């Protein structure tokens, strides 16, 4: 797999480079202001390296899930403005993805200039399952540049036109962010330094089942929190009240607990509420004694202490998924406590993107305290599951 630094070493001054970046940032629905620019900042090292080498950078990215047609609420205009601020230059936004305006603006670029194409998902072909449809869009995108760099790790598990097909049509390279993500994930999957502890949260066991199956033989401890813990607690025979429960996964969780032979660690107390609301009141109860009319919305203080103890001696940690509904103040403490324990690990600590990365920022924790914060939750999990990721496979010679 050739890197963007290989491209720069070959000489890129005056050449147009199509850079697929992951700029899918959250926006405030009413103001359309960016609420977390972490992914934009993560793209800067590759963009800056190309600019400084004299490349003419054409950036392709997506935002949200538009329905294959232009939609103002999913325009990349706020992203272009923020990217320009961070780069200290003007980043114009093309009016289309690979149409006449994109072509004209790409042709007019000077050395070190940056152009952002409009949301690639405004083209239905971007996400099409039809190879010919994706290929037609990839042909148009390929005319905009002389080389292709993929730095959108959060999208490499998608077989999309701007991720997979265009890479078949141009000299292709991995960006610095993709290279860093691969370096870290390789360390997690190839002889990780021990003790190796994985922390999984989030709402559903079914979303994490494949990664649990893949990691369980490799880890020393698997700590389970979030909504998914209640299906495990039910598998132990405990009542879970009105907590989130996947009844069809109880037998699977029971099997995993048996196979783990004590290596799966579950909450010992939970923060409960009679309703899914910040103002409904809360109480801390034993995990084995959740009242029938209550729902668990966070792990409790004894669980945070238990999990922190398991993490304290770890040399490798992977954390994916919050411990509770951290968006509501009464149910933040579990995620905060575990996040702080992960940050205190003296070895490699990896935050697996998605809601975990969002929690680090929402809770005001120091990003530099972690060894690596992934930009791709779904891609990270699929890599750890051992699945082939199309966007990475196509970059490999």
The fold adopted by the segment(s) 4-179 is Rossmann fold (3.40.50)
Contacts of 339 (CB under 8 A, 6+ apart): 319, 356, 359, 360, 363, 365
Fold observed for domain 192-385: Rossmann fold (3.40.50)
Catalytic residue (choose from 16, 20, 38, 39): 39
Matching residue, tokens 């899930």: 65
The predicted pLDDT at position 7 comes to 98
Where is the binding site for substrate, in residues?
22-24, 39, 62-65, 121, 158
Q: Catalytic: 354?
A: yes
What would you measure as the largest C-alpha separation in the chain, in angstroms? 68
Annotated binding-site residues for ATP read 208, 296, 327, 353-356
Indicate which residue of 2, 15, 41, 204 is catalytic.
204
**What element of type H or E holds 302?**
helix 301-312
Q: Among this protein's residues, is 39 annotated catalytic?
A: yes
Q: Which of 226, 352, 378, 391 is catalytic?
A: 378
Known catalytic residue at 336 = no
pLDDT at 357: 86
* Number of Cβ atoms within 10 Å of the Cβ of 216: 15
How much is the pLDDT for 356?
Answer: 87
Specify the pLDDT at position 149: 98
Confirm if 116 and 76 have CB atoms less than 8 A apart.
Answer: yes
Q: Where are the alpha helices (DSSP H) in 204-249?
A: 205-215, 229-235
218 burial (CB, 10 Å; 0-12 / 13-18 / 19+) is middle
Q: Please indicate whether residue 378 is annotated as part of the active site.
A: yes
Tokens standing for residue 229: 């813990």
The answer to whether residues 240 and 266 touch, using CB atoms and an 8 Å cutoff, is no
- Binding site per annotation, positions for (2R)-3-phosphoglycerate: 39, 121, 158
Q: Looking at 337, 354, 377, 391, which residue is catalytic?
A: 354
Residue 60 dihedral angles phi and psi, to the nearest 5°: -110, 140
Q: State the binding site.
A: 22-24, 39, 62-65, 121, 158, 208, 296, 327, 353-356
Q: What is the chain's pLDDT, residue by residue, as a tens digit (397 residues)?
A: 999 999 999 999 999 999 999 999 999 989 999 998 989 999 999 999 999 999 999 999 999 999 999 999 999 999 999 999 999 999 999 999 999 999 999 999 999 999 999 999 999 999 999 999 999 999 999 999 999 999 999 999 999 999 999 999 999 999 999 999 999 999 999 889 999 999 999 888 998 999 999 999 999 999 999 999 999 999 999 999 999 999 999 999 999 999 999 999 999 999 999 999 999 999 999 999 999 999 999 999 999 999 999 999 999 999 999 999 999 999 999 999 999 999 999 999 999 877 888 888 888 888 889 999 988 888 999 999 999 999 999 999 7
Question: For the chain, where do the domains classified as CATH 3.40.50.1260 start and end?
Answer: 4-179, 192-385
pTM for this one? Answer: 0.90
């Amino acid at each position: 797999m050739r890197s963007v630094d290989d491209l720069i070493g070959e000489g890129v001054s005056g050449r147009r480079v199509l850079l697929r970046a992951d700029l899918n940032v959250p926006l405030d629905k009413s103001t359309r202001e960016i609420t977390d620019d972490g992914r934009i900042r993560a793209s800067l090292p590759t963009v800056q390296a190309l600019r400084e080498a004299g490349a003419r950078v054409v950036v392709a990215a997506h935002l949200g899930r538009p329905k294959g047609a232009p939609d103002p609420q999913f325009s990349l205009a706020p992203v272009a403005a923020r990217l320009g601020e961070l780069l200290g230059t003007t980043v114009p936004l093309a009016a289309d993805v690979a149409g006449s305006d994109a072509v004209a603006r790409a042709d007019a670029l000077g050395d070190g200039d940056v152009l952002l194409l409009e949301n690639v998902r405004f083209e239905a072909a971007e996400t099409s399952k039809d190879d010919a449809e994706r290929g037609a869009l990839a042909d148009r995108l390929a005319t905009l540049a002389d080389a292709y760099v993929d730095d959108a790790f959060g999208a490499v598990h998608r077989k999309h036109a701007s991720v997979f097909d265009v890479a078949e049509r141009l000299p292709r390279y991995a960006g610095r962010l993709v290279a860093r993500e691969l370096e870290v994930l390789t360390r997690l999957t190839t002889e990780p330094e021990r003790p190796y502890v994985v922390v999984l949260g989030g709402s559903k066991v079914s979303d994490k089942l494949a990664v649990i199956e893949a990691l369980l033989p490799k880890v020393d401890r698997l700590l389970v929190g979030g909504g998914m813990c209640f299906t495990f607690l039910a598998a132990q025979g405990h009542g879970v009240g009105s907590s989130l429960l996947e009844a069809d996964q109880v037998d699977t969780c029971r099997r995993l607990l048996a196979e783990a032979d004590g290596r799966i660690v579950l909450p010992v107390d939970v923060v409960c509420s009679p309703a899914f609301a910040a103002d409904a009141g809360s109480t801390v109860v034993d995990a084995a004694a959740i009242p029938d009319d209550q729902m668990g919305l966070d792990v409790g203080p004894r669980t945070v202490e238990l999990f922190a103890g398991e993490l304290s001696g770890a040399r490798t940690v992977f954390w994916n998924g919050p411990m509770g509904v951290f968006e509501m103040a009464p149910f933040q403490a579990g995620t905060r406590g575990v996040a702080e324990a992960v940050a205190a690990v003296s070895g490699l600590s990896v935050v697996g993107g998605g809601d975990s990365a969002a929690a680090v920022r929402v809770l005001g924790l120091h990003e530099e305290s972690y060894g690596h914060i992934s930009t791709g939750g779904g891609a990270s999990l699929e890599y750890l599951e051992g699945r082939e990721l199309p966007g990475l496979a196509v970059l490999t010679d």
